[in-house]
Every structure is written in structure tokens, then in C-alpha cells.
Amino acid sequence: MSILTQRSTRYSTLSISLHWLMLLLIAAVYACIELKGNFPKGSDTRELLKQWHFMLGLSVFALVWLRLLARLIRPAPPITPALPNWQAVPAKLMHLALYALMIGLPLAGWLVLSAAGKPIPFFGLELPALIGKNPDLAGNLKEWHELGGVIGYWLIGLHAVAAVVHHHILRDDTLTRMLPGK
Ligand code: HEM
């Protein structure tokens, strides 16, 4: 089989790099907001943790577009042995939900700060507000953002459990397709 017609058994290097980089980023986004509760209101550390939550969350938003582009250029490699439909369909839905989360959650966070009339920091820059100041809406959006955060824990957890089950119990190549290597 020539190099042109050969189907890869792994995701592209770009997709693999973005997958693991974004996992680290998302873990840090969660860690910042969870750890902030340990510091008194108004303290520098608490404020700093919030700023990092915003900036790393916005980085997820920036990178997810590149990730989608990489996925579009090089679609997902097939799983061997192929999954039956009852597994393939929920897997696809789960991936769609994860992409929706990586776009929707940061966007909701950006809207919260916009509606609250607060600055939107991004590594020394200040991003524009997406909507005008509206404290009531800010409160509502914050609740949606928090609910999205909880849903995110479940989706990411299920996604990780599924990867381990595929690797150790079903013994297919679902996970190795996303691992770096030769
Ligand atoms: C992957 C991206 C993100 C995830 C997973 C995430 C998740 C979360 C979670 C779990 C909370 C805590 C909810 C609670 O206390 O119950 C939170 C709070 C918050 N997030 Fe995010 N977030 C993300 C991105 C962003 C971005 C990009 C911004 C703004 C630019 C943002 C703004 C906020 C705000 C304003 C709060 C409330 C903080 C406070 O208590 O004062 N988030 N987020």
C-alpha cells in the first residue's frame, strides 16, 4: 500500500498534541477555580487564581478551533476491531458533547464577565465584552456556567473510563490511536 493510500492507525500529531495539551489546560482551569475557595475573599491569591481560570479557559476556547480544523483535515482513524453501532453512535455523541463543552463553557464564562461589566484578561491583553452590562443576566449566566462545569466533570470522567475499558477490557486500539509514538 502506498503512503498516499495507506490509512493511518493514529490521529495526526497535531490532534494528539492538542488533545493532551488541552487536557492539561482543562485540568488547570478546574484546579484554579476549585482552589480559589481556600483563600479569603479579596485576597491576592484568590484573585490570581480567578485570573488564571479565565485566561486558561480562554486558551481552551482559542485552541479548540485549531483542533476542529486538524480533525477536519485528517478525520479520526478507524478503530480496530470496528465498534458495533450501539457503541459507535454514543461515542460520536460523546465527542460532539465534549467539543460543545470546550466551546460553550469558555464562551459562557466570557459572557458572565461581559454582563458583570468586569475586565476580561488574556495574558496582558484585555478582550472586549461580548454583551453590555446586565447584572441579572450575569447571575443567570454564571449559574449556567457552573452547571456546565459539573456536566464537564461527568463527561470527561466518562470519556476517560471509556478509554480505559477499551484498552484493558475490550483490548482494541481506541486509546493507542490517541497516544504519541512511532
Ligand atoms: C474549559 C473552560 C472552563 C471550565 C471547565 C470552567 C469551569 C468552571 C467551574 C467548575 C466553575 C466553578 C463553579 C462553582 O463554583 O460551582 C467556574 C466558575 C467561573 N468561571 Fe469558568 N470555566 C471555564 C472557562 C471560563 C472562562 C473562559 C471564563 C471567563 C473568561 C470563566 C469565568 C468564570 C467565572 C466568572 C466563574 C465564577 C467565579 C466566581 O465564583 O467568582 N470560566 N468555571
The pTM score is 0.93
**What DSSP string runs through 4-18?**
TTPPPSS--HHHHHH
Residue 149, helix vs strand vs coil: helix
Distance of alpha carbon 164 from alpha carbon 14, whole angstroms: 22
Distance of CA 170 from the midpoint of ligand 1 (Å): 36
- Read off the pLDDT of residues 86-113 as tens digits, 9 standing for 90 and up: 999 999 999 999 999 999 999 999 999 9
- Read off the pLDDT of residues 9-57 as tens digits, 9 standing for 90 and up: 899 999 999 999 999 999 999 999 999 999 999 999 999 999 999 999 9
**CB atoms near residue 151 (< 10 Å):** 15
Closest Cα to atom 32 of ligand 1: 109
C-beta separation of 82 from 177 below 8 A:
no
Residue 39, classified by CB atoms within 10 Å of its CB into exposed (0-12), middle (13-18) or buried (19+), is middle
Distance of CA 38 from the midpoint of ligand 1 (Å): 16
Residue 81, helix vs strand vs coil: coil
pLDDT grade, residue 7 (50/70/90)? low
- Read off the pLDDT of residues 136-181 as tens digits, 9 standing for 90 and up: 999 999 999 999 999 999 999 999 999 999 999 999 999 999 999 8
- Pick the atom of ligand 1 nearest to 149's CA: 10
Q: At what angle do helices 13-35 and 44-73 cross, to 10 degrees?
A: 160
Q: Match 477499551 to its residue by C-alpha cell.
A: 166
Q: Which of 23, 26, 53 to mutate to test the pocket of ligand 1 (most atoms within 8 A of CB)?
A: 53
6 pLDDT more than 50: no
